[in-house]
Amino acid sequence: MTNVKEYRKVLLLKVPHCVHPDAVPENDSFRLKHTFRPIPSFGLAALCAFLQKHNTFGYDIKAVDINIEAYKKPGVPIDIYDYPALLEEQIKNREYDVLGISVMFVFNIRWLHLAVALSRKYHPQAKIIVGGGYSTIFPGKCLKDLEVDTVVIGEGEATLVHILNRYNHFHDPAFEERFPFNGYGEKDPQGNIRVTPRTHFMDMNDIPAAAWEYLDVEKYFKNSGDRMLAIEGVRGCPYQCTFCNTQLSWGYKLRYKKVDTLIREMLALDKKFRAQLHFIDDNRSINRQWMMDFLHRVLENHIDLEPVPSSFHAHHLDGEMLDLLKQGGIKTVGIAVETGSPEMQKRLKKNLDFDKVREVVKLIKSRGLRVHINYLFGFPNETLAQVQETLNIARELKAHSNQFLILVPYPGTELYREAQQNKLLVFEENDLDNFEPRRSNYLYSDEWTAAQLEEIIYDANIELNFLDNASLYIPEQLDSLREFCEKLLLRIPGHIASYLVVGYIYKQQHDPANYEKFYQGAIESFKDQGTFETFYRYLALDHNPIIRDFNNYCSTGGIEIKATGGQSVG
């Protein structure tokens, strides 16, 4: 009998979800620097848990999240230039027959190419599976451009088991009957690409608790100084916003875990890891009954919910729910407004009621909670007047933190098809390094240039998140803002606005040593030409109390921030 190759040793690996160092232009603006402080991959832990549960073939499962391997010690920012060597070390020194690569974002394409090349170099006979955001959006391109065997489209738990079993010519009738095999792509023996779309989405109650023991989370806790793990209770979104590609991965139907199951998972995680739990659900509160049951059970079990921005739809929040969220430990409530233009709201099928948004923001603030709001810019045919409408409502709502992003026209969305039909797409499909929401070079506009839009958005970011942040005027929220800025400096060293805000707050709190330390940090950061070019013009905003105080500090100390970059002490 001929020996049949077995594919039993499985390594699941998540490549870095930051930009690749080689993709950063030499003259890249400081304002486009990537904020990067990852937590362990929930996707990997979920895949391991499901594969472990349905491992009737006897797979040897290993997993590594390269992202968290780069932490060295608390207080030291991650250096993305460490990742190529870390990636090679893991692939070279691991034994596996199958490599499953998780690629979170499209702009992680270079990491994927590197991982595939390294695997073919060190493990030429191994099968390679690619899953995550990139393969979901570009399944055919992934198979065409890379020497990979199979790609996964959307949620991958059951699909991964099917693929592995098929590699081994192994049949599990009970599993195959329970979980339909779809949402994947492959090449046939002749090299033709075949893509089977995802048509079936799993019952959330068939997905076991994430298996964090497969990842080195204790090393992450120790080296990062953080104790944060993700958890999931809901998948899917019933809304049909034209710019969103969520349905490609999770579908439109909302699927909830049973409340009792989720509570048991949370209690077990707390007992084992004592970590903060960050929910990654898109829309937890749409099913009000489920959400209220969940919150009551949280309070009954004395569970402290995560103190990070939580994603909610403004139309599905009310005072009673907010009271329970606050009692459960939520400190920040996040909502997505996207655009302040009523016309753009209709065109994007977002259809927010701005009066309802104003009411909800007022309710959140009245309970002493922080508000986080997401905004998007750069839609097809969006005018500068409509951009200004969004900025106006951002200033009116005055959230405690704002996320200003540039639209990415993802293939598979209605907006992408609209832009394509109107010949507004300007990016090249083979140039995906910049396919991420800090840049605006995707769509043609008569109204604005890419550079102009990026500058407008960054100015709004500096104004509303730093120099005129709503928390500056609320004494009990000063510590939260200071801590946010100090953590941001771990992700973006040299972020002068953060230095100024922290220094100013320390001055208000009568801490002269730290006040001077952070103002000096700002002065030192001005020596870098890129940082200088980004922040120098804000020093002209002398009407702002933070800028005025910093300018006075420099003047009193005989420090001149020179227009050529750098500083001199007179």
In sequence order, which residues have a C-beta less than 8 Å from that of residue 237 and are 6 or more positions away? 244, 246, 247, 250, 252, 254, 282, 283
Q: What is the pLDDT of residue 463?
A: 97
Q: What is the pLDDT of residue 426?
A: 83
- At residue 453's C-alpha, the angle toward residues 432 and 457, to 5°, is 100
Question: What kind of architecture, by CATH, is found in domain 9-196?
Answer: 3-Layer(aba) Sandwich (3.40)
State how far the alpha carbon of 279 is from the alpha carbons of 49, 307, 311, 561, in Å: 18, 10, 8, 43
Instruction: Tell me what the mean pLDDT of segment 412-436 comes to.
Output: 82
Terminal CA-to-CA distance of the chain, rounded, Å?
A: 87
Q: Which of 418-432, 440-454, 479-493 has the lowest mean pLDDT?
A: 418-432
Instruction: Tell me what the mean pLDDT of segment 429-433 comes to.
Output: 70
| CB-based contact 18:36 (threshold 8 Å) | yes
Residue 570 has pLDDT above 60, yes or no: no
Residue 429 has pLDDT above 70, yes or no: no
Between CA 175 and CA 206 the distance in angstroms is 12
**Alpha-helical regions (H) of 380-449:** 384-397, 414-421
- Tell me the pLDDT band of 311, cut-offs 50, 70 and 90: confident
pTM (two decimals) = 0.90
Percent of the chain scoring above 90 in pLDDT: 78
Burial 501-519 (b: 16+ CB within 10 A, else e): bbbbbbbeeeeeeebeebb
Between CA 211 and CA 49 the distance in angstroms is 5
Query: Which residues, listed in sequence order, are joined to residue 278 by a DSSP beta bridge?
Result: 230
Q: What is the pLDDT of residue 565?
A: 46
Instruction: Tell me what the mean pLDDT of segment 118-147 comes to.
Output: 96
Q: Which residue in 406, 429, 419, 424 sits closest to 106, CA to CA?
A: 429
Q: What is the pLDDT of residue 569?
A: 44
Tokens of 182: 């779809």
Between CA 352 and CA 559 the distance in angstroms is 49
Q: Which of 303-312, 345-354, 472-481, 532-541 has the lowest mean pLDDT?
A: 303-312
Q: Which of 247-251, 480-484, 495-499 has the lowest mean pLDDT?
A: 247-251
Residue 21 has pLDDT above 70, yes or no: yes
Q: What is the pLDDT of residue 381?
A: 92
Which helix (H) or strand (E) covers residue 359, if one does?
A: helix 354-366
Q: Which of 25-34, 374-383, 409-418 has the lowest mean pLDDT?
A: 25-34
Reported as a single tens digit per residue, the pLDDT across 527-566 is: 988 889 899 999 999 999 999 999 999 999 999 997 554 4
Q: What is the pLDDT of residue 500?
A: 98
Residue 343 has pLDDT above 60, yes or no: yes
Torsion of CA 550, 551, 554, 560, to 10 degrees: 130
| CB-based contact 170:55 (threshold 8 Å) | no
Which helix (H) or strand (E) covers residue 113, if one does?
A: helix 109-122
User: What is the β-pairing status of strands 193-196 and 370-377?
Assistant: unpaired
Domain 227-448 sits in CATH at: 3.20.20.70
Which helix (H) or strand (E) covers residue 336, if one does?
A: strand 332-338
Residue 308 has pLDDT above 90, yes or no: no
Between CA 538 and CA 394 the distance in angstroms is 20
Instruction: Tell me what the mean pLDDT of segment 212-228 comes to.
Output: 95
Q: Which of 328-337, 347-356, 424-433 has the lowest mean pLDDT?
A: 424-433
**Residue whose pair of structure tokens reads 């001077």 in the numeric block:** 516
Q: Which of 61-75, 213-227, 277-291, 392-406 has the lowest mean pLDDT?
A: 277-291
Q: What is the pLDDT of residue 291?
A: 95
- At residue 506's C-alpha, the angle toward residues 500 and 508, to 5°, is 105
| Mean pLDDT taken over the chain | 92
Instruction: Tell me what the mean pLDDT of segment 312-338 comes to.
Output: 94
Q: What is the pLDDT of residue 53?
A: 97
Provide the residue ranges of all domains of the chain, joining segments of one domain with +: 9-196, 227-448, 488-569
Q: What is the pLDDT of residue 137?
A: 92
Compare 386 and 438 and report the one with higher pLDDT: 386
Burial class (CB in 10 A: 0-12, 13-18, 19+), 564: exposed
Q: What is the pLDDT of residue 440?
A: 67
- Tell me the pLDDT band of 309, cut-offs 50, 70 and 90: low
Reported as a single tens digit per residue, the pLDDT across 149-197 is: 999 999 999 999 999 999 999 999 999 999 999 999 999 888 899 999 9
**Residue whose pair of structure tokens reads 């937890």 in the numeric block:** 284
**Residue whose pair of structure tokens reads 């999240």 in the numeric block:** 65
